[in-house]
Amino acid sequence: MVERLNFEDEISSNKIKSVLLMGFIILVFILLGYIISAFTDPSLFFIIMIFSIIISLLYLWAGYYYSAQLALSSVRAQPASPTKHRQLLHAVENMSLASGLPMPKVYVMQSEQINAFASGRDPEHAVICVTTDALDKLNKQELEGVIAHEMAHIANYDIRFMTLTTILVGMVSIAAEIFLRSLWFSGNDREGGKGNTILLVIGLILAILAPIAVQLVQLAISRKREFTADATGVKFTRYPLGLANALKKIRDDHDAITSKDQHHYAKALAPLFIGNPYKKVSSFFSTHPDVNERIRILESM
């Protein structure tokens, strides 16, 4: 007998893993700060940190508060029509009631892919956008499964979580860049013999590898949030096969993606979609987990 997975356990497990991965990014940032302050003048460390925080906060203000408008504008989405898109609006209303969340604004974008995304800084400012191909090819249960997944992103405050993660990744990258440039322009004038040389080598390696490492961790966090949204979506619908069957259609549809259709999407927007809108890359470097693994977990619930 196959052991059934519990969606509550899946939600809890993936949330914990996401927080631990974010903790790793914070740890890298602290370690990088320690190396910078140990090798350079401590005052330089504070200047670097201040610049990193200011630049990151500016990104936060632009990306967080205007995320929904920017996302909708980039794909030329239009508000859903009460007559033409009645089934879509009904599905969103049902999932809004099931989740206890306010009814988000609903949009439709022209695309030859089955896809959808949610955006907005909180449930009161959330939007859901669905592609025309999804409306043509998904049945009622599949569409509700997709909408439940997107409502789950809203309920879990994933835009806020991923924005914070992006800020932390940006702070690490900015700090590393400033540190490397300060070494280039100032040279290594400090004395300290072998110990100082070892510290310099460690600092250089960390400054080069840290931005790459935290970006990979950011991708891992994005994948965990997708698993969490799948499980939370099942909590809303109580019917895992609806989303599982939708993902099967998205998987089959993905093989037919053309370069022309990919141009509908900005790459920065790709992590928001339920399915990666770009041609498959290694799951290690992907914003989305392997779709077959997602389907397997859903069918086990």
SS (HEC) of the chain? CCCCCCHHHHHHHHHHHHHHHHHHHHHHHHHHHHHHHHHCCHHHHHHHHHHHHHHHHHHHHHHHHCHHHHHHHHCCCEECCCCCCHHHHHHHHHHHHHHCCCCCEEEEECCCCCCEEEECCCHHHCEEEEEHHHHHHCCHHHHHHHHHHHHHHHHCCHHHHHHHHHHHHHHHHHHHHHHHHHHHHHCCCCCCHHHHHHHHHHHHHHHHHHHHHHHHHHHHHHHHHHHHHHHHHHHHHCCHHHHHHHHHHHHHHHCCCCHHHHCCCCHHHHHHECCCCCCCCCHHHCCCCCHHHHHHHHHCC
Q: What gap in Å lies between CA 93 and CA 143, rounded to an integer? A: 12
Catalytic-residue membership of 299: no
Bridge partners for 78 per DSSP: 108
Given 144, 150, 191, 299, the catalytic residue: 150
Report yes or no: 186 and 200 within 8 Å, Cβ to Cβ: no
Phi and psi (nearest 5°) for 117?
-150, 160
Active-site residues, by number, are 150
